[in-house]
Structure 1
Amino acid sequence: MTSTLSEETSATREVGDPLANWPYPPPGGWTADDLDRLPQEGPHGEPDFFKHVELVDGALIFMSPQKRFHEYVLYGLRTSLNAQAPDRLKAVTQMDVVLGPRQRPCPDVLLIDGEVAKDRSRTAYRPEEVRLVIEVVSPESEFRDREVKPKRYAKAGIPHFWLVENNADEPVVYVYELDPVNHSYAVTGIHHGRLKLTEPFPIDIDLTELPD
């Protein structure tokens, strides 16, 4: 991954030791590059402490254990998208997107360039490599998923965004498209039961029977 730290910022860090003053952030705050240097264990030896963490507005966000609905929708949408996508595109789950030095969210599903997906050493992608971001709303992440992250994705120029809500354990997909002039998303549809679209490629998904 291309470094997002400036030479000046890098010079002020103890490279490889972002947790030197845990729980306080490093000098200058947390950056996207710090996530690649986090250890497998927590500051007191907790296993997998940093396994599911993202960076939003310079703050580390620790993600709660996902519910079965969340896992079901992630797997179902990824599988359905890959079954219908052209070779030039690939859907992946829970991979980071570096939007800037203080922004490294981990969307639930990403649609990325197929050539980029072949590099299995990547830990994150750049906005220009991403065609679609999907967030599945959880109770603990409602504000970030609905209010914060969409603004960051739009500002970064990601052309398509889906927000998936839970309606009685059935997914409802809110589809947004980027307005490149205002750098904001406009809703183009709310889909219950069936998701049928022409962009970013022809898509037809039965939301009531996602692959499980």
Structure 2
Amino acid sequence: MSVEHEPVPMHGAPLHDWNMPPVDGWTADDLDRLPNLPPHTELIDGSLVLVSPRSLFHSRAVSFFEWQLQSCLPPDLEVVREFTIDIDRQNRPEPDVIVVHGDVVEDAAQTRFPAEAVVLAIEVVSPESLSRDRETKPVKYARAAIQHYWRVENHDGRAVVYAFEREPATGVYTSTGIFHDRLKVSAPFAVDLDLAEITPRRRAR
């Protein structure tokens, strides 16, 4: 979803406060305080991770899961796109889509949710986020006790969903399936989605 970047000011450009991180790194609270941060900035291990340009596949996949999950959710859950979650002092990632317990949705001014309120985290992989979405983020989400994680990848223009559930004895994710054409699962709630709807359709000329 994003690319790690330490900005270097161009000649004559203003130097923002976030160009010079503290020795021990930024904190989760700093995301709300630092001026002029680009939208959708994440915090991973005390470092700022800035958003990269999004592909059409990425945009369509995020919108697909945001809207399609609305019709599947039990009444006590809500789906939110591109919203940060608090894992610990140095980690405040922004999954592409999350499903949370409705009681943490307090007001329109809030900027994050506690990780313990997240039922499902979904990441749509971009080339520059591949290692984070496959390795870094799943480890952090599992340690934060987020029970379900879906990774969505673009395989030759077709969406493939890798679904994981946290194994309580080990505290790590285990695969619950790889879905190429249709995503059909019973947990964390019943879902039956046609993944072909994510692929952009070519218009007849």
Please report the TM-score for the alignment, with normalisation by the length of structure 2: 0.85
CA contact (8 A) 1:38 1:50 kept: no
The residue type equivalent to 1:208 in the other structure is A
Report the Cα offset of residue 210 of structure 1. Answer: 4.5
Q: How far apart, in 1, do the equivalents of 2:176 and 2:160 lie?
A: 14
Question: Quick one: which of 16, 28, 38 aligns to 1:50?
Answer: 38
Q: How far apart, in 2, do the equivalents of 1:144 and 1:210 lie?
A: 22
Q: How far apart, in 2, do the equivalents of 1:101 and 1:118 lie?
A: 22
1:65-76 map, 5 Å: 65-76=53-64
- 1:107 is aligned to 95
Q: How far apart, in 2, do the equivalents of 1:181 and 1:129 lie?
A: 20
CA contact (8 A) 1:80 1:211 kept: no
- 1:203 is aligned to 191
The residue type equivalent to 2:41 in the other structure is V
1:2-151 map, 5 Å: 20=17, 22-39=18-35, 41=36, 49-151=37-139
Range that drifts further, 51-60 or 25-34: 25-34
What is the number of equivalent residue pairs in this alignment? Answer: 185
The residue type equivalent to 1:170 in the other structure is R
2:143 is equivalent to residue 183 of structure 1: no
Report the Cα offset of residue 118 of structure 1. Answer: 4.9
Question: Quick one: which of 150, 160, 164 aligns to 1:172?
Answer: 160
**Percent of paired sites with the same residue:** 44
Report the Cα offset of residue 94 of structure 1. Answer: 0.4
The residue type equivalent to 2:127 in the other structure is P
Question: Per-residue displacement from partner, 1:105-153 (whole Å, max 9, x unpaired)?
Answer: 0100000112323532221111111000000110011111101000000
Please report the TM-score for the alignment, with normalisation by the length of structure 1: 0.83
CA contact (8 A) 1:95 1:107 kept: yes
- 1:16 is aligned to none
Report the Cα offset of residue 24 of structure 1. Answer: 2.1
Report the Cα offset of residue 180 of structure 1. Answer: 1.8
Report the Cα offset of residue 166 of structure 1. Answer: 0.4
Report the Cα offset of residue 168 of structure 1. Answer: 1.4
CA contact (8 A) 2:84 2:113 kept: yes
CA contact (8 A) 2:42 2:49 kept: yes
Q: How far apart, in 1, do the equivalents of 2:113 and 2:95 lie?
A: 11
Runs of 4+ in 1 over 3 A off after TM superposition: none
- 1:152 is aligned to 140
